[in-house]
Amino acid sequence: MAKHVSETPATQLLKQQKVVFTEHSYEYLEHGGALHSAEVLGWDPFSVVKTLIMQDQDAKPLVVLMHGNRKVSTKNLARQIGAKSVEPCQPEVANRHSGYLVGGTSPFGTRKSMPIYIEASILELPKILINGGRRGYLVGIDPQVCISLLAAKPVHCALLD
């Protein structure tokens, strides 16, 4: 039995919306990222999804959901969303937009409403692990929840690591 983690804005939203999810806690490692959590939880990093807070040329924030073992092609992403450029936000800026600490950012229950883009191949997975709103805490969900609950738009912007 996983130790119970107190609620986060993400889990509150999932519960309100009656989304079925599993809880997965692990020892957080600074800069360990999705590869670390996948390893300690025994998951394929392709199924562990990172929540990345990025911004366009006007510093407007957006969220990108990406496989744990892939990088985002910011060029491809910008082209698909009609932006001139896209780049990662500085950690303190990302924290301000999301309301979460980098390393514990969930796409659910963010402070600001931001457009969300999901790598299309994530939607083909039966289940994903995604941050539950705290460092060292992931939730297992059906990736379709990202479409139904977040109105995430599928994009093709994965680069092999």
Residue 2 within any structural domain of the chain: no
Q: Is residue 113 part of a domain?
A: yes
CATH number of the domain enclosing 87: 3.90.960.10
Position 1 in a domain? no
Per residue in 86-136, pLDDT tens?
999 999 999 999 999 999 999 999 999 999 999 999 999 999 999 999 999
pLDDT confidence of residue 88: 97
pTM: 0.95
Encode pLDDT of 8-31 as tens digits. Answer: 999 999 999 999 999 999 999 998
Overall domain count for the chain = 1
DSSP symbols for the chain: -PPP----HHHHHHHHTT---EEEE----TTTHHHHHHHHHT--GGGEEEEEEEEETT--EEEEEEETTEEE-HHHHHHHHT-S-EEEPPHHHHHHHHSS-TTS--STT-SS---EEEEGGGGGSS-EEEEEEETTEEEEE-THHHHHHH-PEEE--EEE-
Residue 161's pLDDT band (boundaries 50, 70, 90)?
A: low
Domain that holds residue 85: 9-160
